Amino acid sequence: MNSSSSTMNEEPDALSVVNQLRDLAADPLNRRAIVQDQGCLPGLILFMDHPNPPVVHSALLALRYLAECRANREKMKGELGMMLSLQNVIQKSTTPGETKLLASEIYDILQSSNMADGDSFSEMNSRRRKAQFFLGTTNKRAKTVVLHIDGLDDTALASAIASTKVMKAQQVVKSESGEEVKALFSLLSA
């Protein structure tokens, strides 16, 4: 009984600590200082492996705020365990969908951070040519992925898909007779 009460006391403490970091990271004026601090970033990385899903989600929100500051991205990407922990959250079967999306978004931001800073012009041109290769309709390796997400009517998600200029989104709704029908809503912008 005594050990279970100590466990009960640890989770709210972890949650309150990570929530405080998240709230501090929400203020753009704090973001560089948090990343430069010796303990905050490693602590947030450890929180990504916490067994309590709200702790993980709150840590990811804090990291997402921190990644909004371009000056933080290289340090965050190079921080021991950052990219690996993000991958673990994304691949873990018990991770809630919204948390996986958040981790994936952070991973992508950090992964592309060196490209945004213009490290190598020729490398950027090479990647651009490869991306254009996939835009053609004759690509035999192209895949169609269909996601059925019940109850999702978020136009922000559709806008994010449209902004890729490579994918399209179609909303599928149930008609009055119960049949699935594509809504007149297509976001192909290529």
- 108 with 165, same domain: the answer is no
Question: How big is the CA angle at 116 (ends 100 and 18), to the nearest 5 degrees?
Answer: 40
CATH of the domain at 51: 1.25.10.10
Phi-psi region of 165 (alpha: psi -120 to 50; beta: other; left: phi over 0): left
- How is residue 131 annotated by DSSP? H
Identify the domain containing residue 174 by its residue range: 161-189
Q: What is the pLDDT of residues 10-39, one digit of tens each?
A: 445 899 999 999 999 999 999 999 999 988
The number of folded domains in the chain is 2
Which residue among 112, 140, 175 closes a domain? 112
Q: Is residue 4 part of a domain?
A: no
Q: What is the pLDDT of residues 111-139, one digit of tens each?
A: 987 654 444 444 444 444 444 444 444 55
Q: Is residue 123 part of a domain?
A: no
How many Å apart are CA 69 and CA 66, to the nearest integer?
Answer: 6
Q: Is residue 171 part of a domain?
A: yes
Which residue among 112, 132, 147 closes a domain? 112
Q: What is the pLDDT of residues 167-178, one digit of tens each?
A: 666 666 677 888
Q: How many residues does the chain have?
A: 190
In the block, residue with structure tokens 């990811």:
60
72 and 66 in contact (C-beta within 8 Å)? yes
pTM of the predicted protein model: 0.56
How many Å apart are CA 36 and CA 51, to the nearest integer?
Answer: 27
Longest CA–CA separation in the chain, Å:
65
